[in-house]
Amino acid sequence: MPELPEVHAHAERLHALFANAILERFEPLTFTALKTLGPQPGQIEGTPLDHVGARGKFLLLTADEVTFVVHLMQGGRLKPDTATGKRPRGGIARWVFAGGDALLLTEPGTERKAGVWVTQGDPEAQEPLAGLGPDADRVDRTKLAEILQAHPGRLHTVLRDQHALAGLGRRLANELCHRARLSPFASTRRLTEEEVDRLHAALVAQLAEDLAAERDRDDMSSAKERPSAVHARTGEPCPVCGDAVREVAYRDYTVHYCATCQTGGRVLADNTTSKFLR
């Protein structure tokens, strides 16, 4: 799933292309495209698109007092639509602008989890943004420490909790734990001051590097194109110490880590009852 660097860089690209374009109409192309009953998108037809922004893993398209909140989920993409066919392959929703330009939301497969919420007024006070934690790139060291104390649990789990920190997912959680030399199973309330320092430094550096890499692209990267030291690299040598990257596999996701760099050489049990917390 695209995380904060990919989504925020893509928002910048779309803003440069479509800001101030006059919205002629919004077209849901599937029954599942629109996640809200009101307000009706038609009320802003003929108004300019003021801004394309991002919040966590969501794209925000704002026109007047209405904001389209878009979640790409795993494989969704929001791209300029040059064909404007009536039934585009994988098409979920389309924004059509004066002059013929358009934006098309697509998603491969048949699950159709990507979608659009239409909000009026402050989108932060409404679903799906209500309750989101602060964007991970806006968190200073003091705030990070407060978040860790307020959300007790395993570090990897809390980093992925959108109510704690918005924008981080599986890849970044794996990479941040490795970069900070912390066990993914470390208890958030038992981290030392020095460990919190390392985690915040890792957060700042990782997001800056990933955002810079995304800004150098013409379109959003795919999962395979995003750089990683340990994520999805089970069995490969750790780029820091050379030890084999290991994993703890769950039904819905996998934690990747280096035992030498992160757990003092201890191998974490590959189940949810691992006793290794530090």
CATH topology of domain 136-262: Helicase, Ruva Protein; domain 3 (1.10.8)
Architecture label for domain 4-125 = Alpha-Beta Barrel (3.20)
N- to C-terminal Cα separation, the chain: 28
pLDDT of residue 271: 58
pTM for this prediction: 0.92
Q: Are 256 and 246 in contact (CB under 8 A)?
A: yes
Residue pair 48/85 in contact (Cβ under 8 Å)? The answer is no
Query: 16's torsion region: left (phi>0), alpha (psi -120 to 50) or beta?
Result: alpha
User: Among 75, 73, 109, which Cα is nearest to 89's?
Assistant: 109
* Structural domain spans, the chain: 4-125, 136-262
Output the pLDDT for position 277: 44
Q: What does each of the 278 residues of the chain score in pLDDT, given as a tens digit? A: 899 999 999 999 999 999 999 999 999 999 889 999 888 888 888 999 999 999 999 999 999 999 999 999 988 999 999 876 677 888 999 999 999 899 999 998 777 789 999 999 999 999 999 999 999 999 999 999 999 999 999 999 999 999 999 999 999 999 999 999 999 999 999 999 999 999 999 999 999 999 999 999 999 999 899 999 999 999 999 999 999 999 999 988 999 999 999 999 999 977 544 444 44
109: left (phi over 0), alpha (psi -120 to 50) or beta: left
